[in-house]
Amino acid sequence: MHGSFAPFARRPRVAVGDPQTDIHRFFTLLERRGLLTQDGWLRPDAQLISVGDHFDWGTPHERNAAARSGLHLLAWLAAQPSDQVAIIAGNHDLARVGELVDFTDATFTEAQAEADRIYAGDNTDKAQEQEFLQRYPQVHSVELIARDYSTFREEQRTWVAYLLRERRMRLAYASAPGLLVSHAGVTREDLLALGIAKDRHNNAHAAAYALNDTLDTAVENWKGGPLTVPGLYQPGNRDQGEGLGIVYHRPSVLPEDAERTRQNPRRRFNPLHLPLGLTQVIGHTRDKRARELLGQPPEAQTGGIRHLVTNGQRFTYAAGPPGKTAFEDAVLVFTDGGLNDSPLESIEFFDFDTRGAR
């Protein structure tokens, strides 16, 4: 289906943000919430929304284990009925058919060995990096290979491409008429560009349909090279710079991000430009990063749900799920609590029925 998956009377219905962690740890989180059967499948009466980014976690010495684990987790999710498990595409997922599309296991291993020698965070030698990019123009930095997308394997690309073509990996999911799930959120400008009139911006089903239909058309027309989704996703490269689009979105009020909020596709967005009347459940941004970009006090939390509420004139950002909001408010619910790094007891899933943490 282009928009939301087939409706089904399942309870509970929960979302988990950015499952970038060992599959056994992921199963432990599900088991603690009573969501697994004894034979390791999702409970038949439950629904799970994976909010995207299934690859790339851990330290360099964990790369092989993380590569296998991410693939196994994605396969486990895809093996469940489509009305029971929704798989949202994140930037790490689309990178497999974007920046990394032309790498083989052998060429990636070769590039990564060189990237590891060069990459040193803010102290990376720029001259050496430019020499690297002359040989690998499909990426925009050595960091992308050494850190960001460090656990790539060809088999992951095969799975992502298959799930995209089967319309099993989606850009968005409508959990209720006013409740949209995507990896990093959409703005009023995105919805207008998709042809959705302003008076329908609170319609999650219309948004999900348009987003997924645009993705499906791009996948159908994709004959080779990096996948792009016009207006929504543009992978990065040496000449263009970092990737752009809704899977990279982060809300920001920093002056230095002002120009990035005007790009199309963009990488940052002004939180005051969120679609009014729509609640969005997203991943992609942990508390520490959100606080930096939103100019908030730095006392970051780990694991928990957070929220942002705006009336289009001002916004508030706070820990926990959103409380009672006005009908016309735009709401973001952040679900990326750092599954691999946070204490298990601090990690929260979002419960669609209670609009609270689980």
**Complete DSSP assignment for 173-203:** EEEETTEEEESS---HHHHHHTT--GGGTT-
User: pLDDT above 70 covers what percent of the chain?
Assistant: 97
User: Is residue 217 within 8 Å of residue 202, measured between CB atoms?
Assistant: no
Q: 13-100+149-357 adopts what CATH topology?
A: Purple Acid Phosphatase; chain A, domain 2 (3.60.21)
The overall average pLDDT reported for the chain is 94
Average pLDDT over residues 309-324: 95
Predicted structure pTM score: 0.95
Confidence of residue 1 (pLDDT cuts 50, 70, 90): very low
Q: Which of 7-16, 122-131, 153-162 has the lowest mean pLDDT?
A: 7-16
Domain boundaries, the chain: 13-100+149-357, 101-148
**Predicted pLDDT at 3:** 52
pLDDT reported for residue 257: 87
What mean pLDDT comes out for the span 217-232?
Answer: 97
Give the closest residue to 116 by CA, choosing from 91, 148, 92. 148
What does the block give as tokens for 126? 């720029």
Q: What is the mean pLDDT of residues 325-345?
A: 94
- DSSP letter for each residue of 39-105: TSSBPTT-EEEE-S--S--S-GGGHHHHHHHHHHHHHHHHTS-TTTEEEE--HHHHGGGTTTTT--H
User: What confidence score (pLDDT) does residue 300 get?
Assistant: 78
Tell me: cis bond preceding 44? Omega within 30 of 0 counts. no
pLDDT surpassing 70 at residue 4? no
Given a cut of 60, whether residue 127 has pLDDT beyond it is yes
Per-residue confidence (pLDDT) for residue 5, from 0 to 100: 45
